[in-house]
């Protein structure tokens, strides 16, 4: 579904991504793990069109999307939930969700997807009229995910969904990611919580200073002694 081939990305003179290649097969959950500053967010932002690679290609469903504006990429069926949620703080939960469907005009489909989002996140239904800036961190993460789902993505990119959340909520968010995947959405997940990410992913890549240090099935990486020592806290 997604094939990133040998991309290089710079911030001015800083060479942040050094020839990364990643494949995300349809229907799977693929995770990128690695420490702070390894380049995980930059990789996601490049895939979703917020940054342009200096070279390399990014094929989404066989079309090269390098240079395609971010909003057009959303319209093609690829949506990112950014690190830090970025909900529209002064708008209600409902308005945030409606904005997620901004590029669509299939009213019935939108209504069905809204119902589906409320089924996945009952808390958002309870709080649909609440101003989003007053939600808890976990609720804002749910809203950011719900808003992305309202664009009906075939590929969902998630950047650090567990960041700053209490362990119980982290579990809940990961269960929902699994559920989203089981209902047909392919997922590319960036996480610092490597243990949790590997527990739900099919495939994983370990990033280290802009390069892929290791790749394999999530199970292989989770059970590898070397990976555990270097990246999973023993
Ligand atoms: P984190 O989990 O901390 O976000 P990450 O793995 O997502 O880490 P990136 O945020 O992609 O890493 O950063 C990769 C590299 O690019 C780092 O060396 C970082 O300092 C650099 N970088 C990121 N954003 C910028 C920016 N706006 N300007 C300059 N350098 C940046």
- The stretch 178-198 carries a mean pLDDT of 94
> If 0-12 CB within 10 Å is exposed, 13-18 middle and 19+ buried, where does residue 167 land?
exposed
pLDDT bracket for residue 128 (50, 70, 90) = very high
Tell me the residue range of the domain where 29 lies: 2-81+152-231
**Ligand 1 atom 16 nearest Cα:** 16
What was the pLDDT predicted at 165? 87
* Cα 176 to Cα 104, 130, 146, distances in angstroms: 24, 22, 11
Mind listing the pLDDT tens digit for each residue in 129-183? Answer: 999 999 999 999 999 999 999 999 999 999 999 988 888 889 999 999 999 999 9
CATH number at residue 16: 3.40.50.300
What was the pLDDT predicted at 227? 75
Rounded distance between C-alpha atoms, residue 170 and residue 115, angstroms: 23
pLDDT bracket for residue 234 (50, 70, 90) = low
- 54 belongs to a structural domain: yes
- 139 belongs to a structural domain: no
- 157 belongs to a structural domain: yes
- 133 belongs to a structural domain: no
Tell whether the model's pLDDT for residue 191 goes beyond 80.
yes
Q: Which residues contact 215 (CB under 8 A, 6 or more apart)?
A: 203, 204, 205, 206
- The stretch 17-32 carries a mean pLDDT of 98
Inter-residue contact 174 to 4 (CB < 8 Å): no
Inter-residue contact 197 to 30 (CB < 8 Å): no
- The stretch 224-233 carries a mean pLDDT of 73
Mind listing the pLDDT tens digit for each residue in 60-119? Answer: 999 999 999 999 999 999 999 988 878 999 999 999 999 999 888 899 999 999 999 999
Answer left, alpha or beta for residue 18, where phi above 0 means left and psi between -120 and 50 means alpha: beta
Structure tokens at 146: 């719900």
What was the pLDDT predicted at 105? 87
How many domains, in total, are found in the chain? 1
What was the pLDDT predicted at 232? 67
- How many CB atoms are closer than 10 A to CB 11? 10
What was the pLDDT predicted at 192? 86
Task: Tell me, in angstroms, the distance from the centre of ligand 1 to residue 8's CA.
Answer: 14
Q: Which residues sit with their C-beta closer than 6 Å to ligand 1?
A: 11, 14, 16, 34, 36-42, 192
**Between 57 and 84, whose confidence is greater?**
57
- The stretch 192-197 carries a mean pLDDT of 89
Task: Tell me, in angstroms, the distance from the centre of ligand 1 to residue 39's CA.
Answer: 6
Q: Which of 37, 38, 40 has the most ligand 1 atoms within 8 A of CB, as the residue to mutate? A: 37
């Amino acid at each position: 579904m997604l094939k990133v081939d040998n991309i290089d990305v710079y911030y001015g003179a800083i060479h942040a991504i050094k020839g990364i290649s990643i494949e995300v097969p349809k229907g799977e959950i693929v995770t990128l793990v690695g420490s702070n500053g390894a380049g995980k967010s930059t990789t996601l932002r490049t895939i979703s069109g917020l940054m342009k690679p200096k070279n390399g290609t990014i094929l989404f469903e066989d079309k090269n999307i390098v240079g395609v504006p971010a909003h057009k990429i959303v319209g093609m069926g690829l949506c990112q939930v950014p690190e830090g949620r970025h909900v529209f703080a002064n708008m209600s939960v409902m308005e945030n969700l409606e904005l997620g469907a901004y590029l669509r005009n299939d009213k019935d489909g939108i209504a069905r997807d809204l119902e589906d989002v409320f089924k996945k996140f009952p808390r958002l239904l309870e709080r649909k009229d609440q101003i989003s800036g007053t939600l808890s961190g976990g609720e804002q993460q749910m809203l950011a995910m719900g808003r992305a789902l309202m664009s009906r993505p075939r590929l969902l990119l998630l950047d650090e969904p567990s960041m700053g959340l209490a362990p119980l909520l982290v579990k809940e968010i990961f269960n929902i990611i699994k559920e989203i995947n089981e209902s047909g959405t392919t997922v590319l997940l960036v996480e610092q919580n490597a243990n949790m990410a590997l527990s739900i992913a099919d495939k994983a890549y370990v990033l280290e200073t802009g390069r892929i240090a290791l790749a394999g099935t999530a199970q292989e990486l989770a059970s590898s002694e070397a990976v555990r020592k270097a990246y999973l806290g023993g």
